[in-house]
Amino acid sequence: MNRLSFLVTTEIPSPGMEILRAAGTVHVPGFRLSPEELSRECASGSYDVVVSQLRDRLDADLLARARLTGISNYAAGFDNIDISAAARHSIMVGNTPGILTDATADVTLLLILATARRAVEADALMRAGRYMGWEPQFMLGLDVSGATLGLAGFGRIARATARRAIAFGMKIIFCPRPPGHRPVTAGELAEFGGEARAVGWDELVATSDFLSLHVPLSPETHHLVDEDVLGRMKSSAILINTARGPVVDEPALVRALRNGGIAAAGLDVYENEPSMSPGLAELPNTVLLPHLGSATTSVRAEMARICARNAVAMAGGNRPEHEVVAGVPAP
């Protein structure tokens, strides 16, 4: 019997590597493959499945040449893969949804609290030895309790964020598939007992004290938050992005933060990762994390297990447990 063969572009946590090694031959290059090298490896016919990362771009050109039965993406998101091109070439795609929901919602709350209470600015001041003692007017921030949290999107991560925010006394409004709309089922709302209200995108933008993004990156959501939207937000509003960088026009965000168009931003993702738009890092009213949404030891280990099981299934010609299907939008 032919051994299954895997190309793992970047080593994943050991529970996943063990599953792959038990099932077949695993090749880990040990350096970052260039786009050309990745394309050549995928076309070589040496591998059944590639285990990919968000930074590996699997575009239509690469997929047209690829000789693979599947792509197992080590992420919930899959905007790095041209899903319809994969389908055209009968290449299955797996992802790791669900398990990183709570961890990512935690990071969303972390950014809401840190921006509202100026945690990073305050920490820098302490470390610089600039704390001169308690003062009535020192480093005042914004109330989270009583503030309106507007959720762009109403998938798993948005709903997990809403549950946490309700515990902090926030009012929840949401737009389920901005900039358009989709009907919301009673089932989706049941757990919130009337504490979350669906609104249109324009109302969400204009009335949120915190506007938090929870949409997949797609042509519809690219630059969802642009100059115009930033201009329609309250000047006291805070933008939170734990979704995907290109959902925000980052240079426009820098301008809005600089000229008082909005009050602050908490970001975990960037338009051109790993770089940041000039100016962003110099602004005091930003909290900047390096894409840590799913970064806990246990979540990354579980992602590795799911990713490896998806890979083994596809290498054996079977559908993966978590399959990304062309034309079906993310929740």
Interface residues with ligand GLV (CB under 6 A) are 75-77, 97, 100-101, 155-157, 214, 293-294, 330-331
Beta strands in 59-170 (DSSP E): 70-73, 92-94, 148-152
Query: 3-class DSSP state for residue 134?
Result: coil
Alpha carbon distance 228, 75 (integer Å): 31
CB of 88 to ligand GLV, least distance (A): 23
Cα separation of the two ends of the chain: 39
Bridge pairing between strands 4-8 and 238-241: unpaired
CB of 34 to ligand GLV, least distance (A): 22
Who's near 220: CB < 8 A, 6+ residues apart? 179, 180
How many angstroms separate the Cα of 10 from the Cα of each of 74, 203, 245? Answer: 10, 43, 22
* Catalytic residue status for 244: yes
* Catalytic residue status for 164: no
Query: 3-class DSSP state for residue 175?
Result: strand
* Catalytic residue status for 32: no
50 is written with which tokens? 């590639």
174 is written with which tokens? 């949401």
Contact 269, 241 (CB under 8 A): yes
Q: Which of 117, 273, 305, 323 is catalytic?
A: 273
Q: What sign does the dihedral 133-237-269-258 (CA atoms) show? A: negative
Q: Is 176 exposed, middle or buried (0-12, 13-18, 19+ CB in 10 A)?
A: buried
Query: Starting at the edge strand that comes first in sequence, how are the strands of the sheet with 49-52 ordered?
Result: 24-27, 4-8, 49-52, 70-73, 92-94
CB of 97 to ligand GLV, least distance (A): 4
CB of 149 to ligand GLV, least distance (A): 16
Q: Which of 291, 300, 309, 322 is catalytic?
A: 291
Residues with a known catalytic role: 244, 273, 291
